[in-house]
Amino acid sequence: MEKLIVSSSPHIRSGASTQRIMLDVIIALCPALVASFVFFGPRALVLVAVTVLSCVLSEYISRRVMKRKNTVSDLSCVVTGILLAFNLPVSLHPLMAVFGGVVAIVVVKQMFGGIGQNFVNPALTARIILMNSFPADMSNWTPAFGWLNGADATTTATPLAVLKQGGEFSFSYLDLFLGNTGGCLGETCALALIIGGIYLIARRVISPVIPVTYLATVAVISLVAGRDPLVDLLVGGVMIGAFFMAPDYTTSPISRNGRIIYAVGCGLFTMLIRMFASLPEGVSYSIVLMNILVPLIERVSLPKPFGSRKGDGLK
């Protein structure tokens, strides 16, 4: 008889892989990608291509330089690239987008050990660094459909900016739901993001705990504060944050209870920034802030081993 393989149990696997999970996330981002093209034109696709390429090359080169295994095939760098583009205004200079990709992958992800090791969300952190490096370019919003009527060189105010500055709020719920407003590439179309989110939940890539808790927290605080909860849910980055940013595995708690605490925190800080800070939008900062708090949340939220709770045993 030929030599037999002897290994530790279990001897079968579910077939799940990191690559398949990332592919599912990419599929889930496709509706929003289509929406970004519809509202912002071919420039949107170019920007996505630029950030994806920048992220993939950054991953490849940084792994190479550090003499580590090439991990481009797990597709996580592609996801980061798409998400980064989705958080940029369409008019941003491609070189700035390239810089964003390098920051996300090299500084935020690989310098901390690569996939699974970064303590903040790479795409969001890169966006924050870009916002602080190029504040004017990062808040230069092109109107939706501007590319069709030759208005793609003009600028408009995002619904959030209007809310902040107290101008006349002329957006209908339908406009906000479909994304017929100015804003970042991938964040405006709530419909497309919800479709993607439902796909992720149906494929069991993410659990509904974080998105539902996050959205519910935003809505409740908005209601209590006397704002319009529907508007607060539909404007800005709340939808993309709830379905694609906050549930990021590496930077969110691992247990269900931890996820609830974390998502409540994300919603709370989002609303606090919206209501009291000088910035119009708080999704990026709130999620990155909660990312940093994850180790503390884990301390209080990890499950207690079976049989070690008070009350276990015969009553």
Provide, rounded to whole angstroms, the least separation between the CB of residue 175 and another protein. Answer: 36
Binding map of another protein across residues 243-262, x = CB under 8 A, - = no contact: ------xx-xxxxx------
DSSP 8-state symbol, 72: G
Question: Does 10 contact another protein by CB under 8 A?
Answer: yes
Which residues, 161 to 220, sit near another protein by CB under 8 A?
207
How far is the C-alpha of 272 from the C-alpha of 43, rounded, in Å? 33
Which residues, 103 to 122, sit near another protein by CB under 8 A?
114-117
# residues near another protein by CB under 8 A: 45
Q: For 109-176, what is the HEC assignment?
A: HHHHCCCCCCCCCHHHHHHHHHHHHCCCHHHCECCCCCCCCCCCCCCECCHHHHHHHCCCCCCCHHHH
Which residues, 54 to 73, sit near another protein by CB under 8 A?
71
Of 12 and 136, the one with the shorter C-beta distance to another protein is: 12
How far is the C-alpha of 65 from the C-alpha of 102, rounded, in Å? 14
Question: Does 6 contact another protein by CB under 8 A?
Answer: yes
Question: Does 308 contact another protein by CB under 8 A?
Answer: yes
Question: Does 16 contact another protein by CB under 8 A?
Answer: yes
Find out whether 99 and 112 touch, Cβ atoms under 8 Å: no
Question: Does 133 contact another protein by CB under 8 A?
Answer: no
The residue ranges that bind another protein (CB under 8 A) are: 1-2, 4-14, 16-18, 20-21, 71, 74, 76, 114-117, 207, 249-250, 252-256, 302-309, 312-315
